[in-house]
Structure 1
Amino acid sequence: MKLIDITNEFDNNDQIIYSHGDCCEILRKVPDNSIKLIITSPPYNIGKEYETKESIEVYLQTQTEIIEEIIRVLSHDGSICWQVGNYIDDYEVYPLDIFYYEIFKKFGLKLRNRIIWHFGHGLHTQTRFSGRYETILWFTKSDEYTFNLDDVRVPQKYPGKRHYKGKDKGKPSGNPLGKNPSDIWEFLYNEWDSGLWDIPNVKANHIEKTQHPCQFPVELVERCVLALTNEEDWILDPFAGVASTIIAGIKNNRRSFGIEKEREYIDIGIERIKDFLNGELKIRPLGRNVYKPTGKETVAQIPEEWLK
């Protein structure tokens, strides 16, 4: 396996491509119908250090140009997972998934799920409720798409439940491999027990935290990779950041292609990939319970000032 290929050329014989430069320019060198899964979290236009805040109209036009290129490179049986939050302007919320839905439909894609990613820590605000979710829009290019449900099933809540009538009366009614996950992603109570995905966002105490302010958790990518691709398929993240998607792909024997314009994040991502290949990168395991503080810890106790 070639460790890193930082280049503006796409070589189908590589295993890892991590390109530094303009997204559209690099995508134009990628062959048509060559990528099985495109999964990313684009800039939200909220004024992070790596983006310039602009009008919602200009922002969406720029994103449309990129979307047109990624649809071109997406295979006939491929999928796009587009994860977004909200755009805030003058204290008003603009739900970006609604705007993006119209763009993808304009290009003829079909929405298979609108997945809610719930997390426990949101933005601090005193003018509205704290935002604790983002959405993943799963689109396909056709009706003939890869979907490996058995690879992502979650444990049955009532495995002993049986059919009470019909030809299968008395037989177990569930699938022995588990049930279909819901479209609300929240790991809760036991591993995948509830069918909801509570995948922590990457904040200060997350083991994967780097300098990137809006980092993709690896386990968020993994379920999409397992369900929507097969081994040796290409996955692409056109806003790759510090390489979380690339790492999720390598971890599951997929070919991984990332594009990132910020040199600082490329350098961090290279080190993360090297650490992963050497078995030294700390990654939150897929399906691990969300940490809950105990009463013995200071942060879990009521401050004395509040008791007065």
Structure 2
Amino acid sequence: MVSDHYVEGYRLLLGLNDSLQFLKTIPSNSIKLIVTSPPYNIGKVYEEKVKLNEYLDYQEEIAKECSRILKEDGNLAWEVGNFVYKKEIFPLDFFFYKIFKEDNGFKLRNRIIWRIEHGLHASLRFSGRYETILWFTKTDNYTFNLDPVRVPQKYPGKTYYKGEKRGKPSCNPLGKNPGDVWDIVLQDWEEQIWNIPNVKANHPEKTIHPAQFPIELVQRLILALTNEEDIVLDPFGGVGSSALGALLLNRKAISIDKEKEYIDITLERVKAMINGTLKIRKIGTKIYTPTGREKVSQIPKEWTNNENN
């Protein structure tokens, strides 16, 4: 099923279907950016857990369609975590690199680290606190806009100390390249990583989706890898975070999901965006740091009592 929606100048195409089947209906060489976070095959409510090789076979078919529909100067950003089987970790970015690079000819430009400060606590291994974004291009002629995602210089007053440029500023006045480990909290210069909170219970964007993509994260990819009016596609769209990120930046959006409930939520979120009531964590918002005065950040009395006994 395809639902084509026009809302006050915004163009949003929603597909209620299996991702692979829907991708086959999209014209070749028509999409500028494919950005998504596919199911990790870990048994979430929206996926049926299968053997790893079956999961990868399906993703291989997805990748072939992505290669077909992506423009020659297009980009693909694939955000993944780990598959876990019998308490063993299988890093999905390792498998997806082979799928996109070796099997479909994509070229890897960056392996971006996205740190997640909060999540499930492990007891048999170190708790996982990051996921990766594989940024691929279809060719060597690809869209990349650095200026919109620059961050302030650490030492803006630094100058050349010798040569013809001695005494002149040695850094770009628009800011520096954030690198492939990018800290969105600009005040924290020591940890240059993509430090964008994952969408948990107290996140302003939280819906019923158990693994929701933060709009702030996808917007940075959209700013760097597309131009205005380009088409951004998410083959595993969930509740529309990628679509919203695109629409907010004057891009066109296609979002695909097999769950009608998620498609309905996407439409409601788009309507909220239009009327100005959409709850969103804006780009560059400083991550909250507990001061010690909050109840949840204080040492429990039971702990201190035990120390005194």
* CA-based RMSD: 1.8
Q: 2:5–2:11: 8 Å Cα contact kept in structure 1?
A: no
Return the match for 1:27 from 13, 23, 27: 23
Q: Secondary structure of 1:176's match?
A: coil
Q: Is 1:124–2:121 an aligned residue pair?
A: yes
TM-fit CA distance, 1:94: 0.2
Letter in 2 for 1:243: G
**Alignment map for 1:274-289 (pairs within 5 Å):** 274-289=271-286
Given candidates 138, 148, 171, the residue that maps to 1:174 is: 171
Please report how far the alpha carbon of residue 7 of structure 1 lies from its aligned counterpart in structure 2 after TM superposition.
1.4
Question: Relative to 1, partners in 2 of residues 1:200 and 1:103: Cα closer, same or farther, differing over 3 Å?
Answer: same
2:235 matched residue in structure 1: 238
Shift of 1:185: 3.0
In the TM superposition, 1:1-80 aligns within 5 A as 7=2, 15-80=11-76
Match of 1:208? 205
Looking at structure 1, the residues matched to 67 and 207 of structure 2 have their Cα atoms a distance apart, in angstroms, of: 30
Shift of 1:205: 0.6
Structure 1 pair 192–228 and aligned structure 2 pair: CA distance change class (3 A)? farther
C-alpha deviation, 1:14, in angstroms:
7.6
Match of 1:155 among 139, 152, 156: 152
d(CA) in 2 for partners of 1:302 and 1:231? Answer: 49
- In the superposition, relative to structure 1, how do residues 77 and 34 fare at CA in structure 2: closer, same or farther (>3 Å)? same
SS in 2 for 1:126: coil
Task: Report the counterpart of residue 3 of structure 1 in structure 2.
Answer: none
AA in 1 matched with 2:81: G
1:283/1:189 CA distance change after superposition, 3 Å = same
Q: Cα distance, 1:71 vs. partner?
A: 1.1
Q: CA deviation at 1:294?
A: 1.7
Cα distance change on mapping 1:195 and 1:56 into 2, 3 Å:
same
- Using the alignment, how far apart are the partners of 2:284 and 2:188 within structure 1? 5
Change (3 A) 1:116 1:189: same
TM-score, normalization by structure 1: 0.94
> Is 1:104–2:104 an aligned residue pair?
no
Distance 2:295 2:133 in 1: 35
Answer whether contact 1:86 1:93 (CA < 8 A) is retained: yes
Q: 1:107 to 1:258 in 2, by over 3 A?
A: same
In the alignment, structure 1 residue 89 sits paired with structure 2 residue 81: no
Deviation at 1:122? 2.3
Secondary structure in structure 2 of the residue aligned to 1:184? coil
Tell me which of 299, 303, 306 is aligned to 2:303. Answer: 306
Quote the Cα distance in structure 2 between the aligned partners of 1:254 and 1:230: 8
Distance 1:14 1:295, change over 3 A: closer
Relative distance call for 1:9 and 1:272 in structure 2 (3 A) is closer
Shift of 1:182: 1.7
Structure 2, unaligned runs of 5 or more: none
Return the alpha-carbon distance in structure 2 between the equivalents of residues 113 and 155 of structure 1.
21
Cα separation, partners in 2 of 1:194 and 1:158, compared to 1, 3 Å:
farther
Counting matched residue pairs gives 302
Q: 1:242 and 1:192 mapped to 2: Cα distance?
A: 33
Runs of 4+ in 1 over 2 A off after TM superposition: 8-11, 185-196
1:50 and 1:102 mapped to 2: Cα distance? Answer: 25
Where structure 1 has 5 or more consecutive residues not aligned to the other structure, the ranges are 1-5
Q: Retained in 2: the 8 A contact 1:250–1:256? A: yes
Question: How far apart, CA to CA, are the structure 1 residues paired with 2:234 and 2:226?
Answer: 14
Q: Is the 8 A contact 2:215 2:280 kept in 1?
A: yes
AA aligned to 1:180 is N
Q: 1:183 aligns with which of 168, 180, 183?
A: 180
Classify 1:183/1:89 alpha carbon distance in 2 versus 1 (closer, same or farther; 3 Å).
same
Give the % identical residues.
57
Separation (CA, whole Å) in 2 of partners of 1:226 and 1:189:
17
Tell me by how many angstroms 1:16 deviates: 0.9
Note the alpha carbon deviations across 1:95-141, whole angstroms, 9 max, x for none.
Answer: 00000000001110000000000011122221001100000000000
Shift of 1:165: 1.4
Give the 3 Å change call, closer, same or farther, for CA 100–10 of structure 1 in structure 2. Answer: farther
Q: Contact 2:154/2:189 (CA < 8 Å) preserved in 1?
A: no
